[in-house]
Each structure stands twice: as structure tokens, then as C-alpha cells.
Structure 1
Amino acid sequence: MQGEGMGFSWVTLTTVLPVCGQVTALHSGKEIHGQIVKSKKRGDVPLLNSLMDMYAKCGAIDYCRKVFDRMQNKDITSWNTMISGYSINGQIEEAMALFDEMISNRIRPDGITFVALLSGCSHSGLTSKGKRLFHVMQNYGVKPSLEHYACLVDMLGRSGKLDEALAVVESLPMKPSGSIWGSLLNSCRLYGNVSLAETVVERLFEIEPNNPGNYVMLSNVYANAGMWEEVKRVREMMGMRGIKKDAGCSWIQIKHRIHTFVAGGSTDFRNSAEFCRIWSELSDATKKVGYVPDTEVVLHDINAEMKTMWVCGHSERLAAVYALINTGDGMPVRITKNLRVCVDCHSWMKAVSRVTRRLIVLRDTNRFHHFENGTCSCKDYW
């Protein structure tokens, strides 16, 4: 469009910004923000809401707040976007404070407001506060939907209250969705409850028979329990049904280009002299600050040496090393992953952020992790 001299409208930018947020293309999103600033026209509310959403989904929550504070007019979407941004970036206290400000300004919250707050409580371990919110929202005329119940079940399950979570599912006034059963299955994995996992997965196989995540989760439950014959059975079942596990994939943006990495892949890069040098330096430095590979996250019946090799080939690590090589000292590293980050990669990222003095922002399927000086914004609860 620009090459043809077409110019652009706010609708154009409002359409493009969500794409930047989806692939965490912060560099491109900032360029669009620059176009808005340089324009003689004032950005309308839908455009600025899209800009906020892009920054939140790229993990740049400070930029998101600056846009929010400078908006002369705000609608309910503006408040929800800011609250949701805080929640997914692990800043639940800031989200709650903004919710209080919203109420004091007589802005009536809606169902989306409470989904954001409940999700934030779930990923922060604030079970009691989340349960209170679930009951309070009805005071604002918000009737619990399937999404609210999904947040409640996830919250209870993550905190180890599996029986209470199951009771909520069984008493739902509507048919439980696959995401609700999937959340409960994940909690079974976290707490090693094999019998409940087997019950839950039967429901999931009825609702989502072709979802590979359900089979992988059940396999992980069995692997954590050392039930290797059952792991083999699940994998054979997947093969018979033509179901393949999603490969771990991570991507980063450097200038205008998106670079993608697959777990165990990128052999040309991994064999390069630059990679070997940086990897060796990081291995020595992270070892000195106490990092030791946690091979228990490799849920395969193989020896310890092979497990260590598998862990080191996870896609987010490859992306991090590539970013360290190709960006200047002190520049933040921003990574997006299509799966949940494993415990060992989480520990490795904390160690790398400490030895390199870099901010590493990792977005996985659950939330954002901001690694800085050896700690993570999630406080190791995700």
C-alpha cells in the first residue's frame, strides 16, 4: 500500500496491529505506533485499544500502560485490555489495583474483566482471592459463563485442590468444555494423580478425540509415575489413530525478520562456530551460578546423557542463543513458544538472564515469563 502511495486509514492499522501481537513482532508494532504519532490526526479509541493489545501481547507492558494513561477517551475494552495485559504478564496486583480504579470511576466491569482477573489469580496462585472474585462478579450483574468456570477449575487444580475442582466440573450448569477437562488433566499431571487423570481423559477422548495434547498429557502423567508400559500404550494409540504430537517451536523477531526454531532442529546453526562458542560460555557461566540440567523433564525411558542432550535442544534455548549472538549487549531478548515452557528451560533462562545481565521475555501458551537477574516474574508458579 505504501509503495503504491495509497496511504492508510486507522482501520488499516487497527487490522495490522493484532497480527503483530499474535507473532510478538514488537519491532513492527513500534513502527506502526510511530506512524500514529507522526499523523496529524488523533488516534481513535479502537486503534489505541489495538495498540495497547499489541504491546501487552509482546510483553511490553510499560508501553501498554503509557498508551492507556495518555488516552483521552477510554471504553470498557480499554480497561479490559490493560487489566488483561497485567494479568498475562504476571502483574496481578497491578491488575487488581486497576480494577479498583475502574470501579471508583464508575466503569461497570463485564465478563471479560473477570476472565482476565480470574486467569491472573490462577497463574499467580491467589486461589482465595480468585474464589472471592468469582462470587463478587455476580454483584455486578455478571453471570458466570463457561470461561469463568474454566478459570475457577484451573485455579483450584493448580493449587492442588483436585477434589474441589472436580466437584465444580460435576456441578456445572452447562456441559463442560474440552478446555475445562484439559485444565483438570494438567492439574493431575502437576500432582501425579494417575487415577483421576484416567477418568478425566476418557471425557476428553469423547469431546476431542483428535487433540494430540490430551494424549501427550496422559503420556506425561504415566511417565512421571514411571509407568512406561502405559506410556508405550498411549503412543501406540496415537500411531493407530494417526495423531502426531505438536513439535516444540519458538520464534523471535530481529529487525524485520522472524526467525523460527524447532526442538532438536536448526542443525546448521547448532553446528556453527558462533553457537558452539556462546553455548560453551553459557554452560560454564550458568554452572557457576548453580544451574544443573533437570533431566526429569525428559519423559522418555532413555539414559541420563541422552536426556541432557534432549533438554539442551529445546526450541526456546536455540532462540535465546541466536538472539544473544545477533543483538547488542543489554538488548532485551523476546521469545514466543507454541507450548508450555518446561521446568528445566525455565531454570536455564533464569540463570542466563543473570550471567548475561539481559532481560529475557518468554511467552508460552500459558503466560509471559520476564526473566531478569536470575528471577522470573511468575515466581516459579505457572
Structure 2
Amino acid sequence: MSGPAGFGRERLLLDVLAVLVPVVVVLLSETDQAWALPAALVACAGLVLRHRCPLLSLLLCLPGLVGGLAWAPTCVALFRLGRAWSNTWWLLCCALLAALSAFLPVAVQQWQLLSAASLTMAAVTALVCAGVPTVMGTLLATRAQLTASLDRLRAATESELLAKEGAARAEERSRIAREIHDAVGHHVTLIAVEAAALHASSEQAEVRASATRVRELAKEALGEMRSTLGLAADQRDSTSARAIPELVARARRSGIRVTLSDECSQAVQLSPGVSRAVYRVVQEALTNVSKHAPGAAVVVELTGDDELLRVVVRNGAPVLGAHAGVLGAHAGAVGDAPDVGCGGSGLAGLSERVRMLGGTLDAVPSDEGFELRAEIPLSPAA
């Protein structure tokens, strides 16, 4: 037998045998006292109560012990009492009470016929018959308690090991983050310094404007890296949905003709994951416009309701005619995005990021160019 059902059937069988076996033993025993057999059968019937009231079950066995036929049910009752109670003195008193109930009638009735050695042997036999099942019950109860304690200790040890492992992983991630920040941050800072120097030394307005943009982008890249690595000094998230207007403004300054229509993200409280994903969708689309559809007009629309946020980035045909439209080179990656994580691999990574939030990302041809559509549920994804 295995499983809870098998364990229940096994326990029921043991409970039935614990009552039936003493009944059979009592019926097969002989005595010259007419009341001894009914008293022993009452003791057997009292075994049904041994789980709820083990002391009452033992007390019902005492009259049968006086008659000499209730040793079998008494052993069962004492065994159960040893398993249920943990007080050694009470268990000793119960075992002595059972032994005296069996020994005293014999000693009173036959003390003239029995020698001192025989009476001593009868007393020892009564004590052994009463003490052995009590001790066995106590030992099994102690074993069960030790097993439970070992299980708890094993669970606590495993939890401690998992906690130490998690702490080690967190410490290693923190160390790697610091190394990345120190290495990459140094070079990005140098880029910003060089751009500032170029701005100060150049007399051409276009060069000065480009140097200013490069310096701003370097500062933003450093801030995003610090935020991603958990090293930011403040809680301002420069890659949230609320930063989309600044993103669009920066795109305009770089020469992209973009129009923003935001009816949702600024008014609805978005979770950090959704907010960052919306920002990345718009950022990726504008980046691809600059690469594959230079000069094209772009419309960014954010709409939705209490349950769903929709992001649509639509562009026209490129003015220079170099490409068919934004996202065209990457459209095939969205339909079957490889497992590349949550970002950093163009539309493939962006599609995976949106999918992990329970949403969908599609890149489809529009009338003159391409359209990127993302639908992200506002409630947590399953």
C-alpha cells in the first residue's frame, strides 16, 4: 500500500486487529469465575476509545484484570497510553495500577498456597506484562518525535543552504554589476567629457549641437546602466513611460519627424515592468526609423483602458528611399522570437519582454511604411 489512501486502509486494519485479537484471546481463555468473561469483553470493547481517551480505556480493563482474563486488552491500552502520554511518572503509575490489579487478587486468594518465591515471580510477571507495552509505546512515540525533529532540522538546513546560495548569487551579481559600472562607466564618462571638450573648442554650430547631443546621450546611457545594475543614487527611472515625451523630444532634436499622442500612459498607474516595456517599444521603433526609414514621418500613439495598454508606432515611407520602411529588416523576428531574454536584441528581445508581461508585439506593413503594435495587459500576467 502506498499513498494517503493506502496508509488509511492500513491504519484501519491495524485498529480492527487491535480489538479483534484481544477478543479472540479472551474467548479462548478459561476461568472459574462467571463475571470474568463479561468484564474482559467490556475491556475489549473499551479499546475503541483508546485513541480519544486512553486512560478511560485502561480503567475499563481493570475489572477484567481482577478476573484474570483481560491481559490482552490491557496490553493494547497500555501501549496506546505510552504513545499518547509523555509524562513518565503518570505512565509509571498507570503501569503499577495495572500490575497491582492483576497481582493482588492472586496474592489475596492464594497467599497461603504459594511460596514467597512464587509470589515474587507473580509480582515480577505482572510488572513485566504491564511495563513492556507501556515502554514500547513510549519508545515509538519518542521515535516519531525524533523523526519529526530530524525532518524539521533537515528542512531548516535546506532553507539555510538555499538562503546562503541566494546570498552568494546576489553578492556575485553585485560584484559583476560594480565591475561593469566601473569599466563601462569610465569609458562613457570619457565620451561625455570629450563631447563637452568638442563643444567648447568648435566654432561650428552643427558640430557644437552634435557634441551636445552626444554628451546628453552619454549621460543618459550612464544613468540607465546604473539604474539597470541597481546602482542609481535616486529612484528616478529614466526608462519609464513617463519619460516617453522626453524620448520623443530627443528624437525630434536628432531630426526624426515624430508626433506623440498619449492618452493613457501618463494618466494610468503602470507597474514598473509595463512602464519600462512601453518605453522600450517606443525607443526601439524610433531607433529603427532612424536606421531604416530616414526622413519618414512617425506617429506614436498610446491608448488603452483599465485592462489593456496599446502602443502603436507608425511610420511612412523613407524620404531618401533607402529602405522600404521602419522595422522591415526585422519584421520576421517578431512572429517567432527566439529565446534571447528580455531585451538587448532588437525586436526579438523586445517581443520576448512583452510576451513575458502577457502581451503581444506585431510588426506589419502599413499603407506607406511599417507599423509596430504592442498590447500589454495592465494586470499582472499569469
TM bucket (normalised to shorter chain) is under 0.3
Higher relative contact order (CA 8 A, sep 6+): 1
Larger-gyration structure (1/2) = 2
Normalised by the length of structure 1, the TM-score is 0.22
